[in-house]
Structure 1
Protein backbone atom coordinates (compact mmCIF):
# COMPACT_ATOMS: atom_id res chain seq x y z
CA UNK A 1 0.00 0.00 0.00
CA UNK A 2 2.80 2.38 0.91
CA UNK A 3 4.75 1.54 -2.25
CA UNK A 4 1.64 2.17 -4.35
CA UNK A 5 1.07 5.54 -2.68
CA UNK A 6 4.68 6.58 -3.32
CA UNK A 7 4.48 5.42 -6.92
CA UNK A 8 1.25 7.34 -7.60
CA UNK A 9 2.68 10.47 -5.96
CA UNK A 10 5.81 10.35 -8.12
CA UNK A 11 3.84 9.86 -11.32
CA UNK A 12 1.31 12.61 -10.50
CA UNK A 13 3.47 15.35 -9.02
CA UNK A 14 1.20 18.18 -10.13
CA UNK A 15 -1.82 16.59 -8.46
CA UNK A 16 0.13 16.17 -5.20
CA UNK A 17 1.25 19.81 -5.24
CA UNK A 18 -2.28 21.01 -6.01
CA UNK A 19 -3.73 18.90 -3.19
CA UNK A 20 -1.13 20.20 -0.72
CA UNK A 21 -1.87 23.79 -1.76
CA UNK A 22 -5.59 23.19 -1.33
CA UNK A 23 -5.08 21.82 2.19
CA UNK A 24 -2.88 24.85 3.02
CA UNK A 25 -5.58 27.29 1.87
CA UNK A 26 -8.24 25.45 3.86
CA UNK A 27 -5.96 25.47 6.90
CA UNK A 28 -5.33 29.21 6.71
CA UNK A 29 -9.06 29.88 6.30
CA UNK A 30 -9.89 27.64 9.28
CA UNK A 31 -7.24 29.38 11.39
CA UNK A 32 -8.85 32.75 10.73
CA UNK A 33 -12.26 31.41 11.80
CA UNK A 34 -10.91 29.67 14.91
CA UNK A 35 -12.11 31.02 18.26
CA UNK A 36 -9.26 32.37 20.37
CA UNK A 37 -9.57 32.47 24.14
CA UNK A 38 -7.24 32.56 27.12
CA UNK A 39 -9.03 29.62 28.76
CA UNK A 40 -11.55 27.10 27.44
CA UNK A 41 -15.04 28.07 28.58
CA UNK A 42 -16.54 25.05 30.31
CA UNK A 43 -19.35 27.01 31.96
CA UNK A 44 -22.68 25.15 31.78
CA UNK A 45 -25.81 26.67 30.29
CA UNK A 46 -26.91 28.86 33.18
CA UNK A 47 -29.11 31.91 33.69
CA UNK A 48 -29.20 34.27 36.65
CA UNK A 49 -32.49 35.76 37.84
CA UNK A 50 -32.06 38.85 40.03
CA UNK A 51 -34.74 40.62 42.05
CA UNK A 52 -33.87 43.85 43.84
CA UNK A 53 -35.86 44.79 46.93
CA UNK A 54 -34.09 47.55 48.88
CA UNK A 55 -34.29 47.57 52.68
CA UNK A 56 -35.72 44.04 53.07
CA UNK A 57 -33.94 41.50 55.29
CA UNK A 58 -32.71 38.18 53.93
CA UNK A 59 -35.58 36.26 55.58
CA UNK A 60 -38.17 38.42 53.83
CA UNK A 61 -36.25 38.22 50.56
CA UNK A 62 -36.29 34.43 50.65
CA UNK A 63 -39.98 34.15 51.55
CA UNK A 64 -41.38 36.83 49.23
CA UNK A 65 -39.08 36.56 46.20
CA UNK A 66 -36.66 33.64 46.11
CA UNK A 67 -39.16 30.91 46.96
CA UNK A 68 -41.87 32.06 44.47
CA UNK A 69 -39.29 32.31 41.66
CA UNK A 70 -37.92 28.85 42.42
CA UNK A 71 -41.42 27.40 42.42
CA UNK A 72 -42.18 29.00 39.05
CA UNK A 73 -38.93 27.80 37.45
CA UNK A 74 -39.02 24.20 38.71
CA UNK A 75 -40.09 21.62 36.17
CA UNK A 76 -38.73 23.35 33.06
CA UNK A 77 -37.58 21.05 30.23
CA UNK A 78 -33.85 20.32 30.46
CA UNK A 79 -33.53 21.76 33.98
CA UNK A 80 -30.42 20.31 35.62
CA UNK A 81 -29.94 22.29 38.83
CA UNK A 82 -31.48 25.19 40.72
CA UNK A 83 -29.72 27.17 43.44
CA UNK A 84 -30.30 30.54 45.05
CA UNK A 85 -28.88 33.23 47.31
CA UNK A 86 -31.02 35.49 49.50
CA UNK A 87 -29.33 38.44 51.15
CA UNK A 88 -30.10 41.99 52.20
CA UNK A 89 -31.95 43.70 49.35
CA UNK A 90 -31.23 41.06 46.70
CA UNK A 91 -32.57 37.69 45.58
CA UNK A 92 -30.53 35.72 43.04
CA UNK A 93 -31.66 32.42 41.55
CA UNK A 94 -29.23 30.52 39.30
CA UNK A 95 -30.84 28.11 36.83
CA UNK A 96 -28.57 25.50 35.22
CA UNK A 97 -29.73 23.53 32.17
CA UNK A 98 -28.42 20.36 30.55
CA UNK A 99 -25.60 20.76 28.04
CA UNK A 100 -26.93 21.17 24.53
CA UNK A 101 -29.91 23.33 25.52
CA UNK A 102 -29.93 26.55 23.49
CA UNK A 103 -29.37 29.50 25.83
CA UNK A 104 -31.95 31.69 24.10
CA UNK A 105 -34.58 28.94 24.18
CA UNK A 106 -33.90 28.52 27.91
CA UNK A 107 -34.27 32.27 28.50
CA UNK A 108 -37.59 32.24 26.66
CA UNK A 109 -38.88 29.44 28.89
CA UNK A 110 -37.80 31.30 32.02
CA UNK A 111 -39.34 34.56 30.81
CA UNK A 112 -42.70 32.84 30.31
CA UNK A 113 -42.60 31.40 33.84
CA UNK A 114 -41.50 34.69 35.43
CA UNK A 115 -44.59 36.42 34.03
CA UNK A 116 -46.70 34.22 36.33
CA UNK A 117 -44.85 35.14 39.54
CA UNK A 118 -46.83 37.40 41.90
CA UNK A 119 -44.71 39.86 43.85
CA UNK A 120 -45.57 42.59 46.40
CA UNK A 121 -46.56 46.00 45.07
CA UNK A 122 -43.80 48.51 44.50
CA UNK A 123 -41.11 45.90 43.76
CA UNK A 124 -39.43 45.70 40.36
CA UNK A 125 -39.95 42.51 38.35
CA UNK A 126 -37.25 39.80 38.37
CA UNK A 127 -34.61 40.41 35.72
CA UNK A 128 -32.46 37.85 33.92
CA UNK A 129 -28.72 38.45 33.84
CA UNK A 130 -26.81 39.07 30.59
CA UNK A 131 -26.15 36.26 28.09
CA UNK A 132 -22.61 35.76 29.35
CA UNK A 133 -20.56 33.30 31.40
CA UNK A 134 -18.11 33.42 34.27
CA UNK A 135 -15.27 33.80 31.75
CA UNK A 136 -17.07 36.46 29.72
CA UNK A 137 -15.39 39.40 31.48
CA UNK A 138 -13.01 40.34 28.65
CA UNK A 139 -12.27 44.04 29.04
CA UNK A 140 -11.48 46.54 31.82
CA UNK A 141 -11.05 50.29 31.49
CA UNK A 142 -11.06 53.30 33.82
CA UNK A 143 -12.29 56.90 33.55
CA UNK A 144 -10.12 59.49 35.31
CA UNK A 145 -9.56 63.22 35.27
CA UNK A 146 -6.15 64.00 33.78
CA UNK A 147 -3.89 65.84 36.18
CA UNK A 148 -6.29 65.60 39.14
CA UNK A 149 -5.07 63.86 42.29
CA UNK A 150 -8.19 62.99 44.32
CA UNK A 151 -6.08 61.92 47.28
CA UNK A 152 -5.38 65.63 47.93
CA UNK A 153 -8.89 66.98 47.15
CA UNK A 154 -11.51 67.84 49.76
CA UNK A 155 -14.37 65.42 50.33
CA UNK A 156 -16.96 67.73 48.75
CA UNK A 157 -14.82 68.28 45.65
CA UNK A 158 -14.05 64.57 45.40
CA UNK A 159 -17.73 63.59 45.60
CA UNK A 160 -18.69 66.22 43.01
CA UNK A 161 -16.01 65.15 40.54
CA UNK A 162 -16.68 61.43 40.99
CA UNK A 163 -20.43 61.96 40.53
CA UNK A 164 -19.73 63.77 37.25
CA UNK A 165 -17.38 61.00 36.14
CA UNK A 166 -19.90 58.26 36.94
CA UNK A 167 -22.63 60.18 35.07
CA UNK A 168 -20.39 60.49 31.99
CA UNK A 169 -19.73 56.77 32.05
CA UNK A 170 -23.37 55.73 32.52
CA UNK A 171 -24.84 58.09 29.91
CA UNK A 172 -22.05 58.53 27.33
CA UNK A 173 -19.55 55.66 27.42
CA UNK A 174 -21.68 52.71 28.48
CA UNK A 175 -24.48 53.05 25.86
CA UNK A 176 -21.95 53.26 23.03
CA UNK A 177 -19.99 50.22 24.20
CA UNK A 178 -23.18 48.16 24.50
CA UNK A 179 -23.74 48.71 20.78
CA UNK A 180 -20.52 46.84 19.93
CA UNK A 181 -21.17 43.48 18.32
CA UNK A 182 -20.55 40.64 20.77
CA UNK A 183 -20.92 42.73 23.96
CA UNK A 184 -23.49 41.37 26.40
CA UNK A 185 -23.24 43.91 29.23
CA UNK A 186 -21.13 46.79 30.54
CA UNK A 187 -21.02 47.26 34.31
CA UNK A 188 -20.03 50.36 36.26
CA UNK A 189 -17.91 50.38 39.41
CA UNK A 190 -16.79 53.32 41.49
CA UNK A 191 -17.87 56.92 41.55
CA UNK A 192 -21.24 58.11 42.83
CA UNK A 193 -24.54 57.54 41.04
CA UNK A 194 -26.36 60.86 40.71
CA UNK A 195 -29.76 61.26 42.38
CA UNK A 196 -32.37 63.95 42.84
CA UNK A 197 -33.07 63.69 46.57
CA UNK A 198 -36.20 64.93 48.34
CA UNK A 199 -35.55 65.22 52.07
CA UNK A 200 -38.83 65.56 53.95
CA UNK A 201 -39.25 67.81 56.98
CA UNK A 202 -41.31 65.97 59.66
CA UNK A 203 -42.47 69.28 61.14
CA UNK A 204 -43.66 70.45 57.72
CA UNK A 205 -45.60 67.23 57.17
CA UNK A 206 -47.22 67.58 60.60
CA UNK A 207 -48.05 71.24 59.96
CA UNK A 208 -50.02 70.45 56.79
CA UNK A 209 -51.34 67.08 57.97
CA UNK A 210 -49.57 65.12 55.23
CA UNK A 211 -48.13 61.61 55.15
CA UNK A 212 -45.14 60.15 53.35
CA UNK A 213 -47.45 58.22 51.02
CA UNK A 214 -49.25 61.40 49.94
CA UNK A 215 -45.96 63.08 49.03
CA UNK A 216 -44.74 59.98 47.19
CA UNK A 217 -47.98 59.65 45.22
CA UNK A 218 -47.93 63.34 44.28
CA UNK A 219 -44.39 63.08 42.94
CA UNK A 220 -45.23 59.97 40.94
CA UNK A 221 -48.47 61.26 39.41
CA UNK A 222 -47.10 64.73 38.61
CA UNK A 223 -43.91 63.54 36.96
CA UNK A 224 -45.07 62.19 33.61
CA UNK A 225 -46.07 63.30 30.14
CA UNK A 226 -49.56 62.42 28.94
CA UNK A 227 -51.33 62.47 25.61
CA UNK A 228 -54.76 64.02 25.13
CA UNK A 229 -55.58 62.82 21.65
CA UNK A 230 -56.28 65.33 18.88
CA UNK A 231 -58.36 68.45 18.27
CA UNK A 232 -59.72 69.27 14.82
CA UNK A 233 -59.53 72.93 13.79
CA UNK A 234 -60.92 73.36 10.30
CA UNK A 235 -58.64 71.46 7.97
CA UNK A 236 -55.99 71.01 10.65
CA UNK A 237 -55.60 68.31 13.27
CA UNK A 238 -53.76 69.44 16.40
CA UNK A 239 -52.10 67.04 18.82
CA UNK A 240 -52.82 67.55 22.53
CA UNK A 241 -49.83 66.72 24.70
CA UNK A 242 -49.40 67.45 28.41
CA UNK A 243 -45.78 68.04 29.47
CA UNK A 244 -45.36 67.16 33.13
CA UNK A 245 -42.05 65.34 33.47
CA UNK A 246 -39.65 67.25 35.70
CA UNK A 247 -36.14 68.05 34.51
CA UNK A 248 -34.65 70.16 37.31
CA UNK A 249 -34.87 70.93 41.03
CA UNK A 250 -37.23 73.90 40.65
CA UNK A 251 -39.83 71.85 38.78
CA UNK A 252 -39.72 69.20 41.52
CA UNK A 253 -40.16 71.86 44.19
CA UNK A 254 -43.22 73.25 42.37
CA UNK A 255 -45.12 69.92 42.40
CA UNK A 256 -48.45 70.38 44.20
CA UNK A 257 -49.25 67.79 46.88
CA UNK A 258 -52.63 69.08 48.06
CA UNK A 259 -54.35 72.34 48.96
CA UNK A 260 -55.28 73.92 52.30
CA UNK A 261 -58.02 76.56 52.29
CA UNK A 262 -57.54 77.03 48.56
CA UNK A 263 -53.76 77.49 48.87
CA UNK A 264 -51.61 74.82 47.15
CA UNK A 265 -49.11 72.94 49.28
CA UNK A 266 -46.00 72.24 47.24
CA UNK A 267 -42.98 70.00 47.70
CA UNK A 268 -40.82 72.97 48.70
CA UNK A 269 -43.17 73.64 51.65
CA UNK A 270 -42.46 70.27 53.29
CA UNK A 271 -39.08 69.17 51.91
CA UNK A 272 -35.67 70.22 50.64
CA UNK A 273 -34.83 69.12 47.08
CA UNK A 274 -31.18 68.70 46.15
CA UNK A 275 -28.80 66.78 43.93
CA UNK A 276 -27.08 63.98 45.82
CA UNK A 277 -25.83 60.47 45.22
CA UNK A 278 -26.85 56.92 45.95
CA UNK A 279 -25.32 55.18 48.93
CA UNK A 280 -22.45 53.13 47.58
CA UNK A 281 -20.80 50.00 48.90
CA UNK A 282 -17.47 50.03 47.08
CA UNK A 283 -14.85 52.20 45.38
CA UNK A 284 -12.17 51.98 42.69
CA UNK A 285 -8.68 53.50 42.66
CA UNK A 286 -6.27 53.76 39.73
CA UNK A 287 -2.51 54.35 39.46
CA UNK A 288 -2.21 55.54 43.05
CA UNK A 289 -3.97 58.87 42.25
CA UNK A 290 -7.15 58.24 44.17
CA UNK A 291 -10.58 57.24 42.95
CA UNK A 292 -11.69 56.41 39.41
CA UNK A 293 -14.67 54.87 37.60
CA UNK A 294 -14.14 51.33 36.33
CA UNK A 295 -15.98 49.76 33.41
CA UNK A 296 -16.25 46.00 32.89
CA UNK A 297 -17.10 44.66 29.44
CA UNK A 298 -18.80 41.24 29.24
CA UNK A 299 -18.83 39.13 26.08
CA UNK A 300 -21.85 37.34 24.70
CA UNK A 301 -21.80 33.60 25.25
CA UNK A 302 -20.20 31.84 22.25
CA UNK A 303 -18.49 34.91 20.78
CA UNK A 304 -14.79 35.20 19.92
CA UNK A 305 -13.09 36.99 22.81
CA UNK A 306 -10.21 38.18 20.60
CA UNK A 307 -12.55 39.89 18.12
CA UNK A 308 -14.80 41.35 20.83
CA UNK A 309 -11.84 42.75 22.79
CA UNK A 310 -10.37 44.51 19.77
CA UNK A 311 -13.79 45.83 18.76
CA UNK A 312 -14.24 47.35 22.24
CA UNK A 313 -10.75 48.84 22.12
CA UNK A 314 -11.43 50.51 18.75
CA UNK A 315 -14.79 51.81 20.02
CA UNK A 316 -13.17 53.31 23.12
CA UNK A 317 -10.70 55.21 20.94
CA UNK A 318 -13.65 56.75 19.10
CA UNK A 319 -15.55 57.51 22.32
CA UNK A 320 -12.53 59.33 23.74
CA UNK A 321 -13.03 62.11 21.18
CA UNK A 322 -16.56 62.81 22.46
CA UNK A 323 -15.63 63.06 26.15
CA UNK A 324 -15.22 66.40 27.95
CA UNK A 325 -11.75 67.90 28.09
CA UNK A 326 -9.59 66.36 30.78
CA UNK A 327 -11.43 63.02 30.97
Structure 2
Protein backbone atom coordinates (compact mmCIF):
# COMPACT_ATOMS: atom_id res chain seq x y z
CA UNK A 1 0.00 0.00 0.00
CA UNK A 2 1.39 3.36 -1.08
CA UNK A 3 1.75 5.83 1.75
CA UNK A 4 0.94 9.51 1.26
CA UNK A 5 3.51 11.98 2.59
CA UNK A 6 2.44 15.60 3.21
CA UNK A 7 6.01 16.84 3.00
CA UNK A 8 6.53 14.91 -0.20
CA UNK A 9 3.38 16.36 -1.75
CA UNK A 10 4.48 19.91 -0.89
CA UNK A 11 7.92 19.38 -2.39
CA UNK A 12 6.39 18.06 -5.61
CA UNK A 13 4.10 21.14 -5.99
CA UNK A 14 6.19 24.18 -5.02
CA UNK A 15 4.30 26.62 -7.25
CA UNK A 16 0.96 25.69 -5.73
CA UNK A 17 2.32 26.08 -2.21
CA UNK A 18 3.82 29.49 -3.02
CA UNK A 19 0.54 30.71 -4.52
CA UNK A 20 -1.46 29.59 -1.49
CA UNK A 21 1.04 31.25 0.84
CA UNK A 22 0.79 34.52 -1.08
CA UNK A 23 -3.01 34.36 -0.94
CA UNK A 24 -2.97 33.89 2.86
CA UNK A 25 -0.49 36.75 3.31
CA UNK A 26 -2.53 39.01 1.03
CA UNK A 27 -5.72 38.26 2.94
CA UNK A 28 -3.96 39.02 6.22
CA UNK A 29 -2.68 42.38 4.95
CA UNK A 30 -6.14 43.27 3.64
CA UNK A 31 -7.75 42.41 6.99
CA UNK A 32 -5.16 44.36 8.93
CA UNK A 33 -5.70 47.54 6.93
CA UNK A 34 -9.47 47.43 6.46
CA UNK A 35 -11.03 45.87 9.55
CA UNK A 36 -12.13 48.47 12.13
CA UNK A 37 -10.88 47.90 15.65
CA UNK A 38 -12.74 49.53 18.54
CA UNK A 39 -12.27 49.45 22.26
CA UNK A 40 -15.85 48.26 22.71
CA UNK A 41 -18.03 46.33 20.25
CA UNK A 42 -20.54 48.40 18.31
CA UNK A 43 -23.88 48.13 20.10
CA UNK A 44 -27.18 49.66 19.15
CA UNK A 45 -28.65 50.28 22.58
CA UNK A 46 -31.98 52.13 22.28
CA UNK A 47 -31.46 54.57 25.13
CA UNK A 48 -31.64 58.37 25.09
CA UNK A 49 -30.92 60.73 27.95
CA UNK A 50 -31.82 64.34 28.71
CA UNK A 51 -29.59 66.25 31.10
CA UNK A 52 -30.32 69.61 32.71
CA UNK A 53 -29.77 71.43 35.97
CA UNK A 54 -30.55 74.42 38.15
CA UNK A 55 -27.79 75.50 40.52
CA UNK A 56 -28.48 75.34 44.27
CA UNK A 57 -32.07 74.12 43.82
CA UNK A 58 -33.40 71.28 45.96
CA UNK A 59 -34.24 67.89 44.41
CA UNK A 60 -37.95 68.47 45.05
CA UNK A 61 -37.91 71.77 43.14
CA UNK A 62 -35.76 70.25 40.37
CA UNK A 63 -38.36 67.52 39.96
CA UNK A 64 -41.23 70.03 39.86
CA UNK A 65 -39.62 72.74 37.72
CA UNK A 66 -37.57 70.67 35.25
CA UNK A 67 -38.27 66.93 35.32
CA UNK A 68 -42.08 67.08 35.25
CA UNK A 69 -42.26 69.40 32.19
CA UNK A 70 -39.68 67.29 30.31
CA UNK A 71 -41.44 64.02 31.10
CA UNK A 72 -44.78 65.49 30.10
CA UNK A 73 -43.36 66.65 26.78
CA UNK A 74 -41.71 63.37 25.76
CA UNK A 75 -43.99 60.75 27.32
CA UNK A 76 -46.35 60.68 24.33
CA UNK A 77 -43.60 60.24 21.72
CA UNK A 78 -43.99 57.00 19.80
CA UNK A 79 -41.29 54.45 20.48
CA UNK A 80 -40.50 55.40 24.08
CA UNK A 81 -41.10 52.44 26.38
CA UNK A 82 -40.14 53.76 29.83
CA UNK A 83 -38.99 56.97 31.49
CA UNK A 84 -36.66 57.13 34.46
CA UNK A 85 -35.59 60.31 36.26
CA UNK A 86 -32.55 60.70 38.49
CA UNK A 87 -32.60 63.91 40.48
CA UNK A 88 -30.06 65.40 42.85
CA UNK A 89 -29.48 68.88 44.17
CA UNK A 90 -29.02 71.15 41.17
CA UNK A 91 -29.13 68.34 38.59
CA UNK A 92 -31.73 66.44 36.58
CA UNK A 93 -31.15 63.36 34.42
CA UNK A 94 -34.02 61.76 32.49
CA UNK A 95 -33.41 58.35 30.86
CA UNK A 96 -35.63 57.34 27.92
CA UNK A 97 -35.63 53.62 27.08
CA UNK A 98 -36.93 52.91 23.59
CA UNK A 99 -38.79 49.89 22.30
CA UNK A 100 -36.71 47.30 20.48
CA UNK A 101 -36.39 48.14 16.80
CA UNK A 102 -37.12 51.85 17.23
CA UNK A 103 -35.18 54.29 15.08
CA UNK A 104 -33.16 56.07 17.73
CA UNK A 105 -32.13 58.96 15.48
CA UNK A 106 -35.71 59.80 14.49
CA UNK A 107 -36.81 59.49 18.10
CA UNK A 108 -34.01 61.81 19.17
CA UNK A 109 -35.24 64.45 16.72
CA UNK A 110 -38.78 64.12 18.09
CA UNK A 111 -37.50 64.46 21.67
CA UNK A 112 -35.47 67.53 20.76
CA UNK A 113 -38.50 69.13 19.09
CA UNK A 114 -40.75 68.36 22.07
CA UNK A 115 -38.30 69.90 24.55
CA UNK A 116 -37.88 72.99 22.38
CA UNK A 117 -41.64 73.51 22.58
CA UNK A 118 -41.66 73.55 26.40
CA UNK A 119 -38.38 75.44 26.81
CA UNK A 120 -40.31 78.55 27.84
CA UNK A 121 -41.87 76.64 30.76
CA UNK A 122 -38.46 75.88 32.29
CA UNK A 123 -36.81 78.39 34.64
CA UNK A 124 -34.74 81.05 32.88
CA UNK A 125 -31.68 80.23 34.99
CA UNK A 126 -31.90 76.49 34.37
CA UNK A 127 -29.26 74.89 32.19
CA UNK A 128 -30.17 74.26 28.57
CA UNK A 129 -31.39 70.63 28.27
CA UNK A 130 -28.83 68.42 26.53
CA UNK A 131 -30.03 65.36 24.62
CA UNK A 132 -27.62 62.56 23.83
CA UNK A 133 -27.58 58.91 22.82
CA UNK A 134 -25.90 56.28 24.94
CA UNK A 135 -22.69 55.11 23.29
CA UNK A 136 -20.41 52.44 24.83
CA UNK A 137 -17.43 54.18 23.23
CA UNK A 138 -18.24 57.50 24.92
CA UNK A 139 -15.33 57.53 27.30
CA UNK A 140 -13.17 60.48 28.35
CA UNK A 141 -10.62 61.23 25.64
CA UNK A 142 -8.58 63.45 27.92
CA UNK A 143 -8.11 64.05 31.63
CA UNK A 144 -6.79 67.38 32.86
CA UNK A 145 -5.66 68.32 36.35
CA UNK A 146 -5.77 71.74 38.01
CA UNK A 147 -3.11 72.62 40.54
CA UNK A 148 -2.15 75.77 42.43
CA UNK A 149 -0.10 76.29 45.57
CA UNK A 150 -2.10 79.33 46.66
CA UNK A 151 -5.59 77.85 46.13
CA UNK A 152 -7.62 75.47 48.23
CA UNK A 153 -9.25 72.33 46.86
CA UNK A 154 -12.67 73.98 47.09
CA UNK A 155 -11.47 76.97 45.04
CA UNK A 156 -9.89 74.70 42.43
CA UNK A 157 -13.14 72.78 42.09
CA UNK A 158 -15.09 76.01 41.54
CA UNK A 159 -12.57 77.10 38.91
CA UNK A 160 -13.03 73.78 37.13
CA UNK A 161 -16.83 74.04 37.15
CA UNK A 162 -17.29 77.75 36.46
CA UNK A 163 -14.35 78.46 34.14
CA UNK A 164 -12.72 75.37 32.63
CA UNK A 165 -15.91 73.39 31.93
CA UNK A 166 -17.68 76.29 30.22
CA UNK A 167 -14.73 77.03 27.95
CA UNK A 168 -14.13 73.41 27.00
CA UNK A 169 -17.80 72.86 26.14
CA UNK A 170 -17.59 75.66 23.57
CA UNK A 171 -15.23 73.51 21.49
CA UNK A 172 -17.01 72.16 18.42
CA UNK A 173 -17.49 68.40 18.57
CA UNK A 174 -17.01 68.16 22.35
CA UNK A 175 -20.10 66.67 23.97
CA UNK A 176 -19.44 67.56 27.59
CA UNK A 177 -16.85 68.24 30.25
CA UNK A 178 -17.13 67.22 33.88
CA UNK A 179 -15.22 68.30 36.97
CA UNK A 180 -14.36 65.60 39.48
CA UNK A 181 -12.48 65.79 42.74
CA UNK A 182 -11.71 68.74 44.95
CA UNK A 183 -13.85 69.71 47.91
CA UNK A 184 -17.55 70.38 47.47
CA UNK A 185 -19.08 72.83 49.91
CA UNK A 186 -21.73 71.44 52.23
CA UNK A 187 -23.75 73.10 55.00
CA UNK A 188 -24.31 70.79 57.98
CA UNK A 189 -27.27 71.12 60.34
CA UNK A 190 -26.82 68.97 63.46
CA UNK A 191 -30.09 68.92 65.37
CA UNK A 192 -30.32 68.40 69.12
CA UNK A 193 -33.16 65.94 69.86
CA UNK A 194 -33.75 67.35 73.34
CA UNK A 195 -34.19 70.91 72.04
CA UNK A 196 -36.51 69.68 69.31
CA UNK A 197 -38.65 67.91 71.90
CA UNK A 198 -38.77 71.04 74.08
CA UNK A 199 -40.24 73.02 71.20
CA UNK A 200 -42.42 70.12 69.97
CA UNK A 201 -40.60 70.04 66.61
CA UNK A 202 -39.21 67.31 64.36
CA UNK A 203 -36.43 67.20 61.73
CA UNK A 204 -39.15 67.30 59.06
CA UNK A 205 -40.19 70.75 60.33
CA UNK A 206 -36.65 72.02 59.71
CA UNK A 207 -36.64 70.52 56.22
CA UNK A 208 -39.94 72.17 55.38
CA UNK A 209 -38.75 75.55 56.68
CA UNK A 210 -35.58 75.37 54.58
CA UNK A 211 -37.50 74.30 51.49
CA UNK A 212 -40.05 77.09 51.80
CA UNK A 213 -37.45 79.81 52.38
CA UNK A 214 -34.90 78.79 49.73
CA UNK A 215 -36.83 79.33 46.50
CA UNK A 216 -36.86 81.47 43.40
CA UNK A 217 -40.36 82.26 42.20
CA UNK A 218 -41.54 84.34 39.24
CA UNK A 219 -43.74 87.22 40.43
CA UNK A 220 -44.60 88.81 37.10
CA UNK A 221 -43.32 90.87 34.19
CA UNK A 222 -42.34 94.49 33.84
CA UNK A 223 -42.50 96.27 30.47
CA UNK A 224 -40.12 99.19 29.96
CA UNK A 225 -39.27 100.80 26.61
CA UNK A 226 -41.14 98.01 24.83
CA UNK A 227 -38.93 95.39 26.48
CA UNK A 228 -40.55 92.70 28.62
CA UNK A 229 -38.55 91.86 31.77
CA UNK A 230 -39.25 88.77 33.86
CA UNK A 231 -39.24 89.54 37.60
CA UNK A 232 -38.38 86.88 40.15
CA UNK A 233 -38.44 86.86 43.94
CA UNK A 234 -34.89 86.20 45.09
CA UNK A 235 -35.15 84.19 48.30
CA UNK A 236 -32.22 81.79 48.17
CA UNK A 237 -29.71 81.47 50.97
CA UNK A 238 -26.44 83.33 50.53
CA UNK A 239 -24.80 82.86 53.94
CA UNK A 240 -24.75 80.35 56.78
CA UNK A 241 -26.23 82.94 59.15
CA UNK A 242 -29.32 83.21 56.95
CA UNK A 243 -29.82 79.46 57.29
CA UNK A 244 -29.29 79.55 61.07
CA UNK A 245 -31.80 82.40 61.47
CA UNK A 246 -34.53 80.68 59.46
CA UNK A 247 -37.77 80.61 61.45
CA UNK A 248 -39.12 77.08 61.93
CA UNK A 249 -42.17 77.87 64.04
CA UNK A 250 -43.73 80.44 66.36
CA UNK A 251 -44.12 79.55 70.04
CA UNK A 252 -47.33 80.08 72.01
CA UNK A 253 -45.81 83.28 73.41
CA UNK A 254 -45.26 84.63 69.90
CA UNK A 255 -41.49 84.09 70.02
CA UNK A 256 -40.00 82.81 66.75
CA UNK A 257 -38.13 79.51 66.99
CA UNK A 258 -35.14 79.56 64.67
CA UNK A 259 -32.97 76.74 63.39
CA UNK A 260 -30.06 77.92 65.54
CA UNK A 261 -32.28 77.43 68.62
CA UNK A 262 -32.56 73.69 68.03
CA UNK A 263 -29.49 72.83 65.92
CA UNK A 264 -25.87 73.70 65.21
CA UNK A 265 -25.29 75.05 61.69
CA UNK A 266 -21.76 74.79 60.31
CA UNK A 267 -20.05 75.42 56.99
CA UNK A 268 -17.96 72.51 55.71
CA UNK A 269 -17.28 70.15 52.84
CA UNK A 270 -18.47 66.76 51.67
CA UNK A 271 -16.67 63.74 53.08
CA UNK A 272 -13.57 62.68 51.14
CA UNK A 273 -14.15 59.11 49.93
CA UNK A 274 -11.19 58.61 47.59
CA UNK A 275 -7.81 60.09 46.69
CA UNK A 276 -6.22 60.15 43.24
CA UNK A 277 -2.55 60.91 42.70
CA UNK A 278 -1.84 62.69 39.40
Distance 1:240-1:102 versus aligned 2 partners, 3 A rule: closer
Number of the residue aligned with 2:145: 143
Write the distance in 2 (CA, Å) between the matches of 1:38 and 1:169: 34
Q: Counterpart of 2:266 in 1: which secondary structure?
A: strand
Number of the residue aligned with 1:23: none
TM-score normalised per structure 2 = 0.51
Write the distance in 1 (CA, Å) between the matches of 2:195 and 2:105: 54
User: Unaligned 5+ residue runs, structure 2?
Assistant: 1-35, 51-70, 85-92, 115-128, 223-229
Q: Counterpart of 1:185 in 2: which secondary structure?
A: coil
Is 1:172 matched with 2:174?
A: no
Q: How far did residue 96 of structure 1 move? A: 6.6
User: Unaligned 5+ residue runs, structure 1?
Assistant: 1-36, 51-68, 85-90, 113-126, 149-159, 232-238, 287-327
Which of residues 203, 208, 211 is equivalent to 1:217? 208
8 Å CA contact retained: 1:143, 1:165: no
Higher relative contact order at CA 8 Å, sep ≥6: structure 1 or structure 2? 1
**1:127-276 alignment, distance < 5 Å:** 130-131=132-133, 133-146=135-148, 161-229=152-220, 242-260=233-251, 261-276=253-268
Give the alignment's Cα RMSD to 1 decimal. 4.6
Q: Counterpart of 2:250 in 1: which secondary structure?
A: strand
8 Å CA contact retained: 1:48, 1:129: yes
Tell me whether 258-267 or 92-101 shows the greater mean CA deviation.
92-101
Post-superposition Cα deviations, 1:80-120, rounded to whole Å, max 9, x if no partner, equal xx9x9xxxxxx9978477689243624746998xxxxxxxx
**1:41-80 alignment, distance < 5 Å:** 42-47=42-47, 77=79
Q: Counterpart of 1:283 in 2: which secondary structure?
A: coil
**1:10-25 alignment, distance < 5 Å:** none
Q: How far did residue 128 of structure 1 move? A: 9.1
Please identify the structure whose Cα radius of gyration is greater: 2
Write the distance in 1 (CA, Å) between the matches of 2:219 and 2:139: 47
**1:305-316 alignment, distance < 5 Å:** none
Q: How far did residue 258 of structure 1 move? A: 0.8
Distance 1:111-1:219 versus aligned 2 partners, 3 A rule: farther
Write the distance in 2 (CA, Å) between the matches of 1:222 and 1:132: 38
Write the distance in 2 (CA, Å) between the matches of 1:49 and 1:278: 27
Post-superposition Cα deviations, 1:268-317, rounded to whole Å, max 9, x if no partner, equal 1112222223345443220xxxxxxxxxxxxxxxxxxxxxxxxxxxxxxx
Number of residue pairs the alignment of both structures matches: 189
Write the distance in 1 (CA, Å) between the matches of 2:113 and 2:231: 37
Write the distance in 1 (CA, Å) between the matches of 2:192 and 2:47: 44
Write the distance in 2 (CA, Å) between the matches of 1:96 and 1:228: 39
Distance 1:200-1:229 versus aligned 2 partners, 3 A rule: same
TM-score normalised per structure 1 = 0.45
Write the distance in 2 (CA, Å) between the matches of 1:259 and 1:98: 57
8 Å CA contact retained: 1:191, 1:283: no
